[in-house]
């Protein structure tokens, strides 16, 4: 097990309905030393890539993506959830469905911050059905930017999101892939990587 899998076993809580709560260290309270280690691990996994910008989506991706961007020495851009009408042409837009909240959000990135010269590393905390990542990929494509890779902290390997994105030909690195969870026993099985 790597450092993240060990931490999930130690502090993650498995709930009914395939819910894995990691809010004590990742996406509500953040253990900054762990987040820094996550940043270094993504740098290691994408060391050969010429990344010019890290792209993520609010809210829980931001803290992680910031430390990844620090490792690469590049700016970070986060897509915003928007309910407001935006002036046509100013923003890249995508629609994203939330697994957790069972709603749809329009997410936007200003055209001033992404263009065809960018080589992106896309970062998020969770990958389940892949809607958030698909939204970010769509925005990157609209911008004409090159996607160098995608980095996820925790992937739910029993949902189809990760496979769909790997099938598109992208290098998708998930630091922990959960194969199965048992809420009653509190057990988690990770995919061997």
Q: Compare residues 4 and 177 and give the one whose CB is closer to its own copies.
A: 4
Length of the chain as a residue count: 193
Q: Is 49 in the site for its own copies (CB under 8 A)?
A: no
Distance, in Å, from the CA atom of 177 to the CA atom of 190, rounded to the nearest integer, reads 5
Does 59 sit behind a cis peptide bond, omega within 30 degrees of 0 on the bond before it?
A: yes
- Token pair belonging to 17: 């309905």
Question: Exactly one of 26, 69, 143, 177 binds its own copies (CB under 8 A); which one?
Answer: 69
Q: Across the strands, what pairs with 21?
A: 13
Q: Compare residues 125 and 155 and give the one whose CB is closer to its own copies.
A: 125
Q: Is 110 in the site for its own copies (CB under 8 A)?
A: yes
The distance of closest approach from Cβ of residue 101 to its own copies in the complex, given in angstroms and rounded to an integer, is 7
CB atoms within 10 A of CB 185: 8
Distance, in Å, from the CA atom of 69 to the CA atom of 104, rounded to the nearest integer, reads 28
Q: Is 52 in the site for its own copies (CB under 8 A)?
A: no
The distance of closest approach from Cβ of residue 64 to its own copies in the complex, given in angstroms and rounded to an integer, is 9
Q: Which of residues 22-41 bind its own copies (CB under 8 A)?
A: 23-24, 28-32, 35-36
Question: Exactly one of 9, 62, 183, 188 binds its own copies (CB under 8 A); which one?
Answer: 62
Which parts of this chain interact with its own copies (CB under 8 A)?
A: 23-24, 28-32, 35-36, 58-60, 62-63, 66-67, 69-70, 73-78, 80-81, 83-84, 101, 103, 109-110, 112-113
């Amino acid at each position: 097990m790597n450092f993240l899998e060990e931490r999930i076993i130690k502090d993650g809580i498995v709930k009914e309905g395939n819910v894995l709560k990691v809010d004590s260290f990742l996406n509500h309270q953040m253990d900054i030393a762990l987040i820094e280690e996550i940043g270094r691990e993504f740098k290691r996994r994408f060391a050969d890539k010429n990344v010019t910008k890290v792209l993520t989506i609010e809210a829980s991706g931001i803290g992680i993506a910031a430390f990844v961007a620090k490792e690469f020495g590049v700016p970070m851009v986060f897509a915003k959830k928007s309910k407001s009408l935006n002036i046509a042409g100013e923003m890249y837009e995508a629609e994203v469905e939330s697994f957790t909240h069972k709603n749809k959000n329009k997410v936007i990135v200003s055209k001033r911050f992404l263009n065809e010269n960018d080589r992106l590393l896309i970062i998020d905390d969770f990958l389940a059905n892949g809607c958030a990542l698909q939204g970010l990929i769509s925005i990157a494509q609209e911008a004409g930017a090159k996607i160098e890779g995608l980095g996820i902290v925790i992937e739910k390997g029993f949902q189809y999101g990760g496979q769909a994105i790997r099938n598109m030909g992208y290098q998708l690195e998930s630091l922990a892939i959960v194969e199965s969870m048992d809420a009653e026993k509190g057990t988690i099985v990770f995919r061997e990587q």
